[in-house]
Amino acid sequence: MSNTTNVAAPLQHLAIIMDGNGRWAEERGLPRVAGHQQGVRTVVEIVNECVRQQISCLTLFAFSSENWGRPESEVETLMSLLLEFLASQRQRMLDDGVRLRVIGDRARLSATVRSALNVAEEETRDGGCLTLVLALSYGGRDEIVRAARQIARRVASGEIAAEDVDAADMASALDTAGLPDPDLLIRTSGELRISNFLLWQLAYAELYFVDAFWPDFGPVELRQALDDYRQRRRRFGLTAEQTAAGEGLSNSAS
Ligand code: IPE
Ligand code: IPE
Ligand code: MG
């Protein structure tokens, strides 16, 4: 009867909407770029903490499909910071067993950024500790549309029947194919929304919103979020009794 035995499944996949860089800078009378620079430092700290916490997958929302609409100079700054991040963290990722993977519409990224991402993915492919997924030029709706097109092509070619298309086919047509669904989503900066992030994959994620701006979110704040997650009781649509008995603890369609 008691749901105290229903401990949360171990956290395999953490997803983060890194928000509030601009406001962090504005509060200090600094240009937004200073907030993004500080935000990259936070990324480095949080990646290291996830390695320490033995989390196997971390997905960071770094640039959304809607962020393309920001002023050109801000978009350029964000892309240069990404290139700097890849260059400065290369050795550390290799040493720490971090494997980089990118999700999103790469076609919209510049050739320079695309090629740096391809090189980093290739170089880090044997990293076995943490898969670091960067969501870049990423939108959940865009991803679902691209997956639907892929499945439509398979149906049109006669490879599968429309009636046979199931959730696992959909999951494996998404950019996140092969990754477990996120167990926990953190969003910083006090905004209470998903902003088109991982719409399919977050179906049963636990949600955690924190007021700190991303540049102020550090290992201590991350550990608080992980502690909070451990208190959650996940039921996946079942009753407390069923989940206490260990049923239904699956979190993925694939
Ligand atoms: C998050 O911080 C970084 C990106 C979206 C690229 P913001 O730039 O959205 O910062 P705020 O929300 O304006 O404070
Ligand atoms: C979400 O933040 C996207 C990223 C963190 C990359 P935004 O700042 O773009 O989201 P909204 O506009 O507040 O919803
Ligand atoms: Mg924002």
| Domain residue limits at 60 | 13-138+181-233
The pLDDT score that the predictor gives to residue 135 is 99
The one catalytic residue among 3, 6, 19, 196: 19
Question: In 3-state terms, what secondary structure has residue 131?
Answer: strand
How many domains does the chain contain in total? 1
Q: Does the residue 227 lie in any domain? A: yes
Q: Does the residue 155 lie in any domain? A: no
What's the mean pLDDT when you consider all of the chain?
Answer: 95
Q: Does the residue 248 lie in any domain? A: no
What are the tens digits of pLDDT across the range 164-186? Answer: 999 999 999 999 999 999 999 99
- The burial class, CB within 10 Å (0-12 / 13-18 / 19+), for 99 is buried
Residue 192 token pair: 């209470």
Question: In 3-state terms, what secondary structure has residue 252?
Answer: coil
19 noted as active-site residue:
yes
Global pTM value: 0.96
Q: Which residues line ligand 2 at a C-beta cut-off of 6 Å?
A: 17-19, 61-64, 66-67, 191, 193, 195
158 versus 247: the higher-pLDDT residue is: 158
The pLDDT score that the predictor gives to residue 7 is 54
Q: Does the residue 23 lie in any domain? A: yes
The residue assigned the tokens 């500790």 is 129
Pocket test for ligand 2, best of 64, 70, 209 (most atoms within 8 A of CB): 64
Q: Which ligand is closest in space to the CA of residue 191?
A: 2
48 noted as active-site residue:
no
The pLDDT score that the predictor gives to residue 248 is 73
Q: Which ligand is closest in space to the CA of residue 138?
A: 2
| Atom of ligand 2 minimally distant from the CA of 135 | 6
The pLDDT score that the predictor gives to residue 8 is 60
Percentage, residues of the chain above pLDDT 90: 91
Q: Which ligand is closest in space to the CA of residue 22?
A: 1
Q: Does the residue 252 lie in any domain? A: no
Is the CB of 215 inside a 6 Å radius of any atom of ligand 1? Answer: no
Q: To the nearest 10°, the Cα dihedral for 215, 62, 128, 119?
A: -120
What are the tens digits of pLDDT across the range 9-31? Answer: 689 999 999 999 999 999 999 99
CATH number of residue 31's parent domain: 3.40.1180.10
Candidates 16, 194, 176, 182; CA nearest to 101 is 176
Q: Does the residue 5 lie in any domain? A: no
Q: Does the residue 6 lie in any domain? A: no
* pLDDT average, residue stretch 107-127: 98
The pLDDT score that the predictor gives to residue 109 is 98
What are the tens digits of pLDDT across the range 36-94? Answer: 999 999 999 999 999 999 999 999 999 999 999 999 999 999 999 999 999 999 999 99
Alpha carbon of 8 to ligand 1 centroid (Å): 31
The residue assigned the tokens 């620079």 is 37
The pLDDT score that the predictor gives to residue 246 is 81
